[in-house]
Structures are given as C-alpha cells and as structure tokens.
Structure 1
Amino acid sequence: MSTRTFRIIVRGFFDGLTAEQHAELLAAAPQHEVLRASFTAEGDLTYELAARNSFAFRFLDGGEAEEDILDATARAELAAEAWLTERGYGFKRLRSTAEDLSLAKQSKRQRRATVRGDA
C-alpha cells in the first residue's frame, strides 16, 4: 500500500528529428498541449516545437518511504527514454524533478477540507 504520492517531471529536448518526425509531432501537437497535461502512471507527454524542441513527461508514482522517490524518478526517466526510443525520436539533456505530495504544503482551504473530512 502506497502512503506517499510522487509527481515527477522528466524534461528534455528532441534531437536530430527528421522532417517526417517533425511533421508527425506537429500533427499530433494539439493532443500534447501543456494546458491538457496531467500526471499519470503511464506518463503524459507535452511538447513545444514552435518555440523550441523541448518536451516534458508528467508521471505519477508512489512509495512507502521518502527515499522511494529516487526509484520512482529512475522509473520515470526510463519510461520516457523508452517511449522516445520506441518511436525513433532522438533526445538530449534529460533532467528530472520530483515532488513528494505528502511533504507539500496545503493551502488553508485544503487544510479545512481535510479537518472536516471533505478531502
């Protein structure tokens, strides 16, 4: 049973895309807009090709202890690399950030809802 929820973002840049790959990504871009993004176990991809060739995967994972965030981050990075490699997309400069939601501050409204049992 997971007691902690982790949100992980794996960022990077597409590298060496062919004209066909670039066109393919542009055609699918509306499905990968940042405003539609969510954190999922499978990873939700967003990217911006018009301004720069950057992308981000958003992952949701969990664990029992605070240290489990390291394993969750490694799984997220491997999943992002696998997704890109399976499709033949080159990439570079991967970096990750992770947040343990159990350690995140709650807003005043969230604290009230938790006390009342609404959350």
Structure 2
Amino acid sequence: MFRVTIRGTFDGLSDADRAALLAGADAFVAAFTEAGTFTGDAGLSAFTFRCQVPADPGDGEREATERAVAALDAHGYPYRILRVAVTDMRDIKIRRKGRRH
C-alpha cells in the first residue's frame, strides 16, 4: 500500500467547480482514501490531495504516483502539481511497546 500526497494549485476553476469543492470541503477530513480527499485554503487556490494506492509486489513510487494522479484526474478539476510525496507503507515498521507489570 502506498500513501501519496499531492500538493498543487487549482488552475481556472469554474464557478460550478468552486461550489462543488466548497460543498464537499471538510477541514477535519484529511484521510488517505482510494478516491482521494482534498484539503485546501478558503480561496481554493492551493490544495493537498491525499490518496491511498494498492501496491503490487513489483510496484514502486512511479506506479503509485501514476495511480494517484489518475485518481486526481477522476475528480475533473483543472490543476497544476507542485510537489508529490510517496510513502511505501510496506516499509513502515511498527514498534510495539512491551507490557509492563
């Protein structure tokens, strides 16, 4: 599983796009989902898009980025990408604290 964060700017949103984004905006919902979630500023100029992408055994950051951009494209808003960060969750190690008595 990959978690991809795309930071970008909206580029020429229509009034309908703005209304849809504002109606669906919830600053407290910044979850990684397969469809992706947006957070952004009140003026809808900049955004952060968070997307969770399934990983096949041979997949790397390039494939994860391509799938996340496809999820971003599916929303249909015009944008410009500024930065992409990819975290391979397969590499994350969880340290569990032992129980103390």
TM-score between the two structures when normalised by the length of structure 1: 0.64
Aligned match for 2:47, one of 36, 55, 70: 55
- How high is the sequence identity, in percent, across the aligned residues? 35
- Residue of structure 2 equivalent to 1:22: 18
1:82 aligns with one of 74, 80, 95: 74
Alpha-carbon separation, structure 2, partners of 1:78 and 1:64: 20
Quick check: 1:37–1:44 contact (8 Å CA) kept in 2?
A: yes
Structure-1 separation of matches of 2:96 and 2:16: 52
CA contact (8 A) 1:14 1:53 kept: yes
1:100: which partner in 2? 88
TM-score, structure 2 normalization = 0.73
**Deviation at 1:39?**
0.8
Q: What value does the CA root-mean-square deviation take over the aligned residues? A: 2.6
Structure with the larger helix share: 1
**Aligned-partner SS, 2:74:** helix
What is aligned with 2:95?
111
Q: Which runs of 4+ in 1 moved over 3 A?
A: 18-21
Quick check: which has more Rg, 1 or 2? Answer: 1
**Can you give the 5+ residue segments of structure 1 that lack an aligned partner in the other structure?**
none
- Mapped to 2, the partners of 1:27 and 1:7 lie a distance apart of 25
Structure 1 residue 39 and structure 2 residue 32: aligned? yes
Residue in structure 1 matching 2:4, options 3, 8, 13: 8
Q: Distance in 2 between matches of 1:27 and 1:17?
A: 14
Which letter maps to 2:17?
Q
Question: Alignment length, in residue pairs?
Answer: 98
Give 5+ residue unaligned stretches, structure 2. Answer: none
